[in-house]
């Protein structure tokens, strides 16, 4: 049975970074692009209809987000994550990476310690180092789980040491690139450390709505931290800020609209002040239409997407296990990103990159970009028709056997 997600869409020449940026990124256009994290799928009907309706209106003046947009986000967080977010906690922002930078700027001082957990999405590093904050690395540990499968964990003992010198932790939950959905016990341990050392946590939850149906559910850190705390107490003591966005889930990252959920009024004012200083228009007529329509009308589409991605993930992992014994896939619980352990190939990072581009003709993200622990890994974006993923893996198999690396 074919799915709507099997439909190939020609993105070349549409101003798509993933396709039209290949020469610049890989030095050639002759690679299958499986790098930057967007999807080769059409957006939900509800989103395209809302955009078309807005385009049909002939005036594109300055924008003001309607209350219904905030309500759509609040309803989504409530139904999807059992998280009740009051309207006043929401600050609209022009993307999650800008949000990371904004929080660092607003709530820390030059020289303050900022913790990141590599391997992690690379803008986490620059959010700290680009603003003269002190980068503290708390590397994740790769261990085998109870079934013998590779799985990443946080190193809580080392995190405690880092926390003594830090003001802020940038958490990636679920985690890009390793695909972990952090569980309640881990998050509660994290909250305990934050409480003990007066640490603010920015929880980047952009991948929260991309958890596979067979994985444990995502737990919003902010919701966990508020359990059992009275509302009045919460407002002043809350140390968790959450970044959310419909952009990854509904394939609208090019439209650039996200939100920070900031329970602490002082934090909120500081963030707002910085946003105002920048003078950026966060909302525009098109990103508002897409944002609201996705959260309001995207439920069924999202479920179908996750079923499709899970089928692709399972087929890809089965193929890797049977046909590519020198590569190990870390099975993601969330995200459409497959984290491939290529260390057995014994190639250094330049040679590994060269092998994927020149020999396999595949444009993946080199693991080394994600910091310590990423060396020898490659990140493959599988949000494309399943046939493309399987064809890419077959290319990889041919290239490995040609090199006698299989
Ligand atoms: C963890 C994480 N945060 C943020 C982003 C990008 O967010 P935005 O496009 O809203 O800046 C990504 C994109 O891959 C991501 O993986």
DSSP one-letter string for 236-285:
HH--EEEEE-SHHHHT-GGG--EEEE---HHHHHHHHHHHHHHT-----H
Q: Is the pLDDT of residue 291 over 90?
A: yes
101 lines ligand 1 (CB under 6 A): no
121 lines ligand 1 (CB under 6 A): yes
Atom of ligand 1 nearest to the CA of 175: 1
116 lines ligand 1 (CB under 6 A): no
Read off the pLDDT band of 281 (50, 70, 90). Answer: confident
In whole angstroms, how far apart are CA 310 and each of 101, 138, 304, 358?
32, 30, 10, 29
* Cα separation, 150 vs 144, whole angstroms: 4
When pLDDT is averaged across residues 189-203 and rounded to a whole number, the result is 96
Structure tokens at 190: 């994290």
Q: Which residues have CB under 8 Å from 286's CB, separation 6+?
A: 51, 54, 55, 255
User: How many angstroms separate the alpha carbon of residue 80 from the centre of ligand 1?
Assistant: 20
* Cα separation, 70 vs 91, whole angstroms: 10
Kind of pairing between the strands at 377-381 and 113-116 = unpaired
Least confident of 144-148, 201-205, 266-270, 317-321: 144-148
Query: Taking a C-beta distance cutoff of 8 angstroms, is the pair 352, 366 a contact?
Result: yes
User: How many angstroms separate the alpha carbon of residue 206 from the centre of ligand 1?
Assistant: 7
In whole angstroms, how far apart are CA 159 and each of 81, 115, 121, 151, 303?
27, 8, 18, 18, 35
Query: Taking a C-beta distance cutoff of 8 angstroms, is the pair 366, 349 a contact?
Result: yes
245 lines ligand 1 (CB under 6 A): yes
In tens, the pLDDT along 209-263 reads: 999 999 999 999 999 998 766 665 565 469 999 999 999 999 999 999 999 999 9
User: Which residue's CA lies nearest to atom 16 of ligand 1?
Assistant: 176
When pLDDT is averaged across residues 258-270 and rounded to a whole number, the result is 96
Mutation test residue for ligand 1: of 35, 38, 253, 290, the one with most atoms within 8 Å of CB: 253
State pTM to two decimals: 0.97
385 lines ligand 1 (CB under 6 A): no
Q: What is the signed CA dihedral for 51, 55, 61, 66, rounded to 10 degrees?
A: -30
User: How many angstroms separate the alpha carbon of residue 232 from the centre of ligand 1?
Assistant: 32
Atom of ligand 1 nearest to the CA of 253: 9
User: How many angstroms separate the alpha carbon of residue 399 from the centre of ligand 1?
Assistant: 31
371 lines ligand 1 (CB under 6 A): no
97 lines ligand 1 (CB under 6 A): yes
* pLDDT at residue 149, as a whole number: 86
Query: Taking a C-beta distance cutoff of 8 angstroms, is the pair 336, 40 a contact?
Result: no
172 lines ligand 1 (CB under 6 A): yes
User: How many angstroms separate the alpha carbon of residue 96 from the centre of ligand 1?
Assistant: 6
* Cα separation, 312 vs 30, whole angstroms: 23
In tens, the pLDDT along 13-54 reads: 999 999 999 999 999 999 999 999 999 999 999 999 999 999
* pLDDT at residue 145, as a whole number: 84
206 lines ligand 1 (CB under 6 A): yes
Atom of ligand 1 nearest to the CA of 98: 11
93 lines ligand 1 (CB under 6 A): no
Atom of ligand 1 nearest to the CA of 335: 16
174 lines ligand 1 (CB under 6 A): no
Q: Which domains does the chain have, with CATH numbers?
A: 4-44+300-402 (3.90.1150.10), 57-298 (3.40.640.10)
User: How many angstroms separate the alpha carbon of residue 57 from the centre of ligand 1?
Assistant: 30
* pLDDT at residue 235, as a whole number: 53
* pLDDT at residue 396, as a whole number: 98
* Cα separation, 394 vs 362, whole angstroms: 11
Chain-wide mean pLDDT for the chain? Answer: 96
* pLDDT at residue 399, as a whole number: 97
Percent of the chain predicted with pLDDT > 70: 97
* pLDDT at residue 288, as a whole number: 98
* Cα separation, 141 vs 118, whole angstroms: 9
Q: What secondary structure does DSSP assign to 116-154, as a single string? A: E-SS--THHHHHHHTTTPEEEE---EEEE-TTS-EEEE-
Atom of ligand 1 nearest to the CA of 172: 1
In tens, the pLDDT along 308-325 reads: 999 999 999 999 999 999
- Looking at per-residue confidence, does 281 or 5 come out higher? 5
In tens, the pLDDT along 322-361 reads: 999 999 999 999 999 999 999 999 999 999 999 999 999 9
* Residue 218 per-residue DSSP state: P
When pLDDT is averaged across residues 284-301 and rounded to a whole number, the result is 98
* pLDDT at residue 184, as a whole number: 96
38 lines ligand 1 (CB under 6 A): no
Q: Is the pLDDT of residue 66 over 90?
A: yes
Closest by CA position to 207, among listed 366, 332, 103, 79? 332
65 lines ligand 1 (CB under 6 A): no
Kind of pairing between the strands at 200-204 and 134-137 = unpaired
């Amino acid at each position: 049975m074919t799915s709507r997600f099997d439909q190939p869409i020609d993105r070349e020449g549409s101003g798509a970074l993933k396709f039209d940026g290949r020469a610049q990124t890989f030095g050639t256009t002759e690679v299958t692009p499986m790098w930057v994290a967007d999807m080769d799928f059409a957006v939900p009907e509800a989103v395209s209809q809302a955009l078309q309706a807005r385009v049909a209106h002939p005036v594109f003046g300055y924008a003001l987000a309607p209350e219904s947009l905030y309500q759509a986000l609040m309803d989504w967080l409530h139904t999807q994550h059992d998280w009740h977010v009051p309207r006043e906690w929401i600050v609209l922002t022009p993307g999650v990476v800008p949000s990371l930078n904004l929080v660092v700027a607003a709530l820390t001082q030059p020289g303050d310690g900022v913790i990141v957990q590599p391997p992690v999405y690379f803008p986490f590093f620059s959010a700290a180092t680009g603003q003269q904050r002190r980068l503290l690395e708390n590397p994740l540990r790769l261990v085998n789980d109870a079934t013998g499968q590779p799985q990443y964990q946080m190193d809580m003992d080392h995190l405690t040491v880092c926390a003594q010198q830090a003001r802020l932790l940038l958490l990636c939950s679920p985690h890009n690139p390793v695909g972990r959905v952090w569980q309640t016990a881990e998050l509660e341990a994290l909250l305990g450390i934050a409480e003990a050392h007066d640490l603010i946590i920015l929880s980047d939850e952009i991948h929260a709505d991309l958890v596979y149906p067979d994985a444990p559910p995502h737990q919003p850190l902010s919701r966990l931290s508020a359990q059992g705390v009275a509302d009045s107490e919460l407002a002043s003591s809350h140390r968790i800020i959450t970044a959310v966005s419909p952009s990854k889930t509904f394939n609208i990252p090019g439209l650039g609209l996200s939100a920070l959920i900031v329970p602490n009024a002082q934090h909120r004012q500081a963030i707002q002040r910085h946003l105002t200083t920048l003078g950026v228009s966060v909302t525009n007529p098109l990103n508002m239409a897409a944002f609201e329509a996705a959260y309001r009308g995207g439920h069924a589409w999202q479920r179908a997407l996750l079923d499709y991605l899970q089928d692709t993930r399972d087929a890809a992992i089965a193929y890797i296990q049977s046909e590519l014994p020198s590569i190990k896939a870390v099975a993601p619980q969330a995200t459409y990103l497959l984290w491939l352990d290529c260390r057995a190939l014994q190639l250094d990072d330049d040679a590994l990159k060269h092998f994927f581009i020149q020999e396999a003709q595949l444009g993946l993200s080199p693991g080394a970009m994600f910091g310590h622990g990423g060396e020898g890994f490659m990140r493959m974006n599988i949000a494309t028709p399943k046939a493309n993923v399987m064809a890419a893996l077959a290319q990889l198999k041919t290239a490995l056997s040609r090199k006698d690396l299989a």
